[in-house]
Structure 1
Amino acid sequence: MTIHGDHPFLPPESERSPVRRFRGRLPSPVGLWTASYDGERAGLTVSSMLVADGEPGYVVGMIDPESDLWETMCEARTAVVSLLGEPHRQLADAFGYVAPAPGGPFRMIDWTDTAWGPAPVGVSAWVGCKLVDQDPPELGWGVQVHLEIVHVEIAADDVPALVHRRGRYVTI
């Protein structure tokens, strides 16, 4: 077995997208989007997202249209968006499909079943959302998903936020 100093699947710098390299220099929140339908759960780590305040509020994010999450969200028409913190690095990697999760990533922590999907226990905040459009616009590699926020949960204990920048996690 060889231990790599770099990510073993990272292409050489000359082959990387300059736009992706630009985006990578922006600090991005590490969110976990989850959904469930007919007893099946799906989730995906998402850092390409923003929250728009208003009545109602919205979460907008980029999702891989071939992901299990997108398929499940389309069936359920709901989702949970959770903000991950320092203790959730391994969870973020497992749901980002870059780290092993024996038995699946949903076995790594405790979950609360909600009307919008599974919500992880121990995060600083999560929102329950309704899918606005099942046929969102394609942008770049993904689809631009709009979720209407219908429920907000803020924990009493504020967990330091996990941020993704240049392929690494940092906390603020």
Structure 2
Amino acid sequence: MRRLRGRLPSPVGLWTTSYDGKRAGLTVSSMLVADGEPGYVIGLIDPDSDLWETLRQARTAVVSLLGGPHQQLADAFGYVAPAPGGPFKMIDWTDTAWGPAPATVSTWAGCRLTADNPPEVGWALQVQLEIEHVELTADEIPPLVHRRGRYTTL
């Protein structure tokens, strides 16, 4: 299964949230955007992650699409690279109504959690977020994609 999944190109997203002064984030590549009114972001999240623990309390999150300059950030939030002081110290952040948004991304969405007990899918939780706000900048950064254990940009 892992080899099959590895052959699929996946967007590299960063899901961040905050609650009661605590920030949490996780690199998420197993995600999709469901179009509609409203739209949704659906992602597979580790049930033991700090992100899930904090998201359940906050009920809101920022889903950012990372670009080429964000590879180190993706690795830090994916817990595969060191981040002295924590990954939130690596770049500047903008506080939003949905949580912290990376100041250097060109695309992010403010979202709201739709279910307290999402279904388990494989080893993950299938978390569904309703999109409440989309932020797009004129300076679009080429998106970061993960395939076969490596990053590339489109």
The two structures have a TM-score, normalised by structure 2, of 0.99
Bigger Rg, which one: 1
- Determine if the alignment matches structure 1 residue 111 to structure 2 residue 93: yes
Name 1:91's counterpart in structure 2. 73
Matches of residues 1-80 of structure 1 in structure 2 within 5 Å?
Answer: 19-80=1-62
Secondary structure, counterpart of 1:74 in structure 2 = helix
The RMSD of aligned alpha carbons is 0.4
- Determine if the alignment matches structure 1 residue 169 to structure 2 residue 144: no
Aligned equivalents of 1:158 and 1:127: distance in 2? Answer: 15
Aligned equivalents of 1:74 and 1:20: distance in 2? Answer: 28
Would you identify which runs of 4 or more consecutive aligned residues in structure 1 move more than 2 Å?
none
The two structures have a TM-score, normalised by structure 1, of 0.89
Aligned equivalents of 1:28 and 1:42: distance in 2? Answer: 22
- 1:20: how far off? 1.3
Aligned equivalents of 1:94 and 1:155: distance in 2? Answer: 24
Aligned equivalents of 1:60 and 1:23: distance in 2? Answer: 17
Secondary structure, counterpart of 1:109 in structure 2 = coil
Q: 2:141 aligns with which of 159, 162, 166?
A: 159
Aligned identity (percent) is: 78
* Number of equivalent positions: 154
Structure 2: 5+ residue runs without aligned partners? none
- 1:169: how far off? 0.2
